[in-house]
Amino acid sequence: MPQSLKEELDALTAVAAHNGRRFRLLQRPAWPNAARIAVNLTVDFDAMLLRRLNNEPPMELAKGEFGGRVGIWRLIELFRTHGVKATIFTPGRICELYPRALAAAVREGHELADHMWEHRVPKEPAVARAHLSRTKAALQLISGRAPIGSRSRYPSALLREVGFLYNSHGARSHLPYLVCDDDGDPAILELPFHFAIDDAMFFSFAWYASANAGQRLFDPDRVFDLWWAAFEHQYREGGYLNICLHPFVSGRALRIAMLDRLIERMRGAPGVWFATCEEVARHCLAQNAPGLLTASAAAATAE
Amino acid sequence: MPWKQGYTISDEISLADADVRWPDGKRCAVHIVVDLNLASGPDGITPGDLTSPAAVFAANDGLDGLLRALAGSGLKATFAVPALIAECYPERIREIVGRGHELAAHGLKGEDVSGLSRTEEAARIELASELLTAIAGERPAGWFSLPRQTDRFAGGSISANTIELLLEARYVYMGNGLADDLPHYWVTDVGQRRAILTLPYYYHFDDQFFCMFPAQGTGLENADMLLRNWRAEFDAQYRRGRFFTMTLHPQHSGWGHRLAGLEALLAELGRRPQLWNATGAECARHWQSAYPAASQLGLEASIWQDYPDSLS
C-alpha cells in the first residue's frame, strides 16, 4: 500500500478510536417501579425566534407566533388531560415574550430547560457562556429553580461547568448515554432525540429553509402510525422514547387531536413511565455516574 | 402582552375555546376561500400563466366544478381574485358574486409585493381596488396575499408596509394570517392600538401544496392527505367551537378525484346544523362587533432588553 494511503487510513482509524472514547453507551436501564419504557414528552418552544434568527419574512414569523399565542397553551392542556409531565426546552428570549405561558407550565409541574438564548450557539466561547448564563437566569426567574438540562450544541464541558446534568440533542443510541470529556470521564448525560420523532420534520413547510420539492406535508394519521411503531419498538425492548413537539406545529388543533390519541394509546400499555427529562436524567446518572450528580449539586451550592 | 416590534403581530394569548361565540349560538365557523391567482412566480401573472392548460381549465371546468360543489352543499365562499383576473373574466366574476359569494382582492396581478416601494405598493392597492369595484359594483372588504406554489415560504408574502396600507385603503380585513386559528388583530401601531382584523390561513389546508406539488409532472399527488388534513382539522375545531378554513383553487380542487373528495366533504359540512358558514366580510364584522380591538387586544409594554451579543 502506498505510504500516503496508509497514513490516511491510520489517521481515520485514530479519529474513530478517539470518537469511541467520547461516548459511553449504557445498558438497558432498570426504570423505577419496573416500568418497561420511559417516555419524555419534550417541547421546543421556539415560537418565531428561529424564524427571526434566519431572517425569514413576516408571515413566517406569524406562523411561529401561533406557538406562543395558541399552541403552548394547548400542549399544557393536553398534558393536564393525561396527567403527564413534560420538559419545555425554552430559548431564554421566550421568557420576555411569553412569560405567562411559561409560568403556567411551571405551575403544572413541567420542567423548564435551556434551548439556547436565541436558538443559536455563538462561536465565541465568552458569548456562548454569556448566552447560557442569561438563559439559565431567565428560566430560574420564572421556575424558581436552576435548569439542569439543555437541547443545544453547547460544548459538554460548558454545560457541565454551569451545573447541567443532561443535554438532549444527539441520537447515538436508542437509550440515554454518557458523553465523556477528553480524559474519558463522563461529563454529561445525553437523552437521545431523533429527527424522525420531531413534529417539525413532518408538518413544517420551509423548516431550515428546505426547498419546495422537499416540503413536509404529512397528515396526522401517518405520523401517528410512525410514532406508534417507534413507541412499540422501544416498549418491546424495554427502552426509551423522546418525542419532540413544537408549539407552532403540534399546537394546531388537528395535531393536538392526534397526540391525544397517541398518548391515550401509550397510557393503555402497562408500565409506561411518563417523566420529565430531569427525572430520567437523575435516574440514569444515579445508576451509571453518581459522581456527576454530586458535582452538579456542589456547583449549584457554590453559586 | 410583552409586545415586541418585529417579532409579534398580535397579543400574548388567543381567545380560549370557552369564550368563543358565533352568531345564533352556532358552534363553529367555516370560511371557504377560493383563490383565483394563476401567477407561477413572484412577478405576478404572465402571458404564459394566462394561456397555460391549467388556466383554461381553471376558468371553465374547474370553476364550474367548485361552484357546483358549493351550491350543492349550500355553502358560500370568499373568492380571492387578482384584479387582472377580474379584468380578463368579468362575466365569470359577476356570476360568482351573483351566486352569493364574496369577492375579495388578491393583489393587482397576484404578485409578491415584498420588494415594492411604499408608493408603488399603495398605487397598486388603489388600482386593484378600483378595477374590482368597477366589475363587482362594490368595493371589496377583504384583501388577500396568499402564497404562490413556487414561493419559498408558504405563508404568503407582504411588505413591511402592506398591513398599514390596507388600513389606509379602508380594507375591513386581511384574508390570510398565521398567528391564530381564530380571527385576530394584526397590530401596526402598538401605541395607538391600530390593527386590522385578520382571518386565519394555514398551508396545510391549501390544495395547491398537495396537488402535483411542487409542479405538474414532477410533483407529488397528495390529495388524499389533504382531505385527511381538512377532516381532522374540521373535527377538532368543531369540538373546540372555533374556526375552520380551507383554501381551494379551481385548477387543483376542480379536477377529477380531487373534486369528488371535496364534494363529499362539503356535503358533510353543509349537513352540520351547528355550523356557521360565512364569507370573509361576515366573519370580520361579527368578530369586530363581538370582540372589538379596543377591549379585546391585551397589549402590554415590551420587557425586551437589548444586548450587544443578541438580536435586537
Facing residue for A253 by CB, picked from B181, B226, B305: B181
In whole angstroms, give the CA distance from residue B175 to residue A239.
Answer: 47
Helix (H) or strand (E) holding A180: strand A177-180
Q: Name the DSSP class of A153.
A: -
* 8 Å CB contact of A96 and B114: no
Residues of B with Cβ-Cβ distance to A257 under 8 angstroms: 232, 235-236, 239
A188 located within any domain: yes
The predicted pLDDT at position B1 comes to: 47
Cell of residue A107, nine digits? 405551575
Q: How many CB atoms lie within 10 A of CB B29?
A: 27
Would A214 be classed as within a structural domain?
yes
Burial class of residue B18 in the structure, from the number of CB atoms within 10 Å of its CB (0-12 exposed, 13-18 middle, 19+ buried): exposed
Q: Is the residue at A100 inside a domain?
A: yes
A206, A219, A256: residue with CB nearest B154: A206
Domain assignment present for residue A291? The answer is yes
Cα distance from B311 to chain A (closest Cα, Å)?
A: 7
Tell me whether residues B303 and A99 touch, CB distance under 8 A. yes
Compute the distance between CA of residue A80 and CA of residue A108 in angstroms, rounded to an integer: 8
Residue A195, Cβ density class (10 Å: 0-12 exposed, 13-18 middle, ≥19 buried): exposed
* Nearest in space to A275 (alpha carbons), one of A297, A242, A239: A242
- Chain B residues with CB-CB distance to A49 below 8 A: 7
**pLDDT per residue over A148-169, tens digit each?**
999 999 999 999 999 999 999 9
Interface of B with A in 124-163 (CB under 8 A): 145, 149-158, 160
- Cα–Cα separations (whole angstroms), residue A175 to A238, A271, A286, A291, B53: 10, 17, 15, 20, 54
pLDDT in tens, B38-58: 999 999 999 999 999 999 999
DSSP three-state, residue A273: strand
Q: How far is C-alpha B311 from the chain's CA centre? A: 31
The count of residues in chain B is 312
Distance CA B75, CA A26 (A): 60
For chain A, 303 residues long, the average pLDDT of each consecutive 10-residue run is 92 94 93 97 97 95 97 98 98 97 98 98 98 98 97 96 95 96 91 97 87 88 98 97 98 98 98 98 96 83 67
Grid coordinates belonging to B104: 375579495
In a domain, A97, yes or no: yes
As a whole number, the mean pLDDT across chain B is: 96
**Minimal Cα–Cα distance from B24 to chain A, Å?**
24
Is the ipTM reported for this complex over the cut 0.95? yes
For residue A133, give every residue at least 6 positions away whose Cβ sits within 8 Å of its Cβ, in sequence order, or none.
A162
Cα separation of the two ends of chain A:
57
Q: What is d(CA B197, CA B289) in angstroms, rounded to the nearest whole number?
A: 11
Q: How many domains does chain A have?
A: 1
Length of chain A: 303
Q: Read off the pTM.
A: 0.97
Which residues in chain A are contacts of B177 at CB distance < 8 A? Answer: 59, 62
Q: Is B14 on the interface with A (CB under 8 A)?
A: yes
Residue A55 lies in a domain: yes
Nearest to A52 among B2, B153, B311 (CB): B311
Strands B184-189 and B194-200: antiparallel
Q: A20 lies in a domain?
A: no
List the CATH number of the domain containing A291. 3.20.20.370
- Answer whether B296's CB lies under 8 Å from B289's CB: no
Residue A27 placed within a domain: no
Q: Which positions 140-199 of A are in contact with B (Cβ < 8 Å)?
A: none
Residue pLDDT, tens place only, B148-167: 999 999 999 999 999 999 99
Q: Do A69 and B209 touch (CB under 8 A)?
A: no
CB atoms within 10 A of CB A21: 12
What integer pLDDT is reported at residue A209 of this predicted model?
A: 77
Closest-CA distance of chain A to residue B12, Å: 5
Range of the domain at A277: 34-302
